[in-house]
Structure 1
Amino acid sequence: MGQVSDRRRIVISGCSSGGKSTLLDELTRRGFRTVEEPGRNIVREALATGSDALPWVNPEAFVRKAIEYASESLEAVRELNEPVFFDRSSIDALAHFERLSIRTPSDLKMLGEACLYASPVFFAPPWHALYEQDDERPLPFNEAVREYDWLRLAYPKRGYAIIDLPRVSVAARADFMLRTLGLPLSKAP
């Protein structure tokens, strides 16, 4: 009998500065395939080039880029028969429009909803001790918590279950996720 493939596309979402990127780095170190958050790259590029594709300046341009990135990221791993971990997803981008009461253009809505991920989605809770503001993340902690609360509604609304990540070390968080998913604690080289 042949080996069963595992094609799960696993999302880590939740609060900004909640330890998602650090967790992704740990999963990468353990040999798993990961996809970084599009938002920070979009903001970094906008700040460097003078583009207005910033979530606090031009939400539509920002969300368009985030959804296009999510779609391209899924397409890039389509043929892989292994789990892939994503820092955020197209759902985070679509929820940004909903939170701001901006009507989602139909082409973006279709593209974003065509991005399918595994359920459950892992959520990094607000963790004040980790929260850092900077040029790429200018929102105060209470705004990050409001965004988190909105995302906790957006995922189940689309049929995704949520599992909260514990407030523990990054290694313990990675162990928790991998055990929950029935995956080894690290991939063989």
Structure 2
Amino acid sequence: MKTKRIVIIGGPGSGKTTLIEHLENQGYSCMHEISRQVILDAQQEGIAQLFLENPILFSEKLLEGRLTQFNEAETFDDEFLFYDRGMPDVTAYMDYINAHYPNKFDEICEQHRYDGIYLLPPWKEIYTQDNERYESYEQAEKIYTFLLKGYQKYGYTVHEVPIGDVEFRENYIINHLNSTF
């Protein structure tokens, strides 16, 4: 059985990490978001906001880490492997800030395909900012749009997950996956 790679995407503060942690607690295999670690590593090196100061370097580090996560699916024997963000998030964020990026970014996203994309919409009631999440809620709404367009650019069908508690969202995704695969 080939493990299906399923990506959970959404703007900052939309509940992705909570959903991924919940799925993991339910026994599903998950790959966690790596951007917070990239940000913390840069801050330890004296770079306050690597994405803002050197978006290409930040994005290269993310793409490299997410490609590693993508390839790790070969070592899993589960039906589904869930990712907290995928490789096309990198180009979507670069498009959001209107930054040029190397063609290899697109090539990597085109050559390494996920099996399902689930988008969490902005949810004002749960949105918070913190040390690594510096975007305003209004910016999170714009990022949501760039993520949707960014995945569609690579030919993905993006499934929007309705707002609801974490169990509702899990059930929505699992029921959709079970009816799809």
TM-score by length of 1: 0.87
Question: The residue matched to 1:154 in structure 2 has which SS?
Answer: helix
Indicate which of 34, 37, 59 corresponds to 1:41: 37
**Identity fraction in percent:** 27
Q: Deviations over 1:99-118 (max 9, x none)?
A: 22322213333334333211
Task: Output the CA distance in 1 between the equivalents of 2:48 and 2:35.
Answer: 13
Q: Is the 8 A contact 1:40 1:136 kept in 2?
A: yes
Alignment of 1:1-189 (within 5 A): 5-51=1-47, 54-82=50-78, 83-119=80-116, 121-182=117-178
The Cα of 1:49 is off from its aligned counterpart by 2.6
Q: Deviations over 1:41-96 (max 9, x none)?
A: 21122223324662222111111011001111111222323210001111000112
The Cα of 1:132 is off from its aligned counterpart by 0.8
Question: The residue matched to 1:122 in structure 2 has which SS?
Answer: strand
Q: Which structure dedicates a bigger proportion of its chain to helix?
A: 2
Q: Which amino acid aligns with 1:165?
A: V
Q: Is the 8 A contact 2:109 2:154 kept in 1?
A: no
Q: Is the 8 A contact 1:37 1:87 kept in 2?
A: yes
The 1:107/1:159 distance shift into structure 2, 3 A limit, reads closer
Deviates further, 155-164 or 38-47: 38-47
Task: Output the CA distance in 1 between the equivalents of 2:30 and 2:145.
Answer: 25
The 1:16/1:95 distance shift into structure 2, 3 A limit, reads same
The Cα of 1:123 is off from its aligned counterpart by 0.7
Q: List alignment gaps of at least 5 residues for structure 2.
A: none
Task: Output the CA distance in 1 between the equivalents of 2:28 and 2:2.
Answer: 12
Task: Output the CA distance in 2 between the equivalents of 1:98 and 1:78.
Answer: 30
Task: Output the CA distance in 2 between the equivalents of 1:105 and 1:162.
Answer: 25
Question: The residue matched to 1:96 in structure 2 has which SS?
Answer: helix
Q: Is the 8 A contact 2:6 2:83 kept in 1?
A: yes
Task: Output the CA distance in 1 between the equivalents of 2:17 and 2:55.
Answer: 22
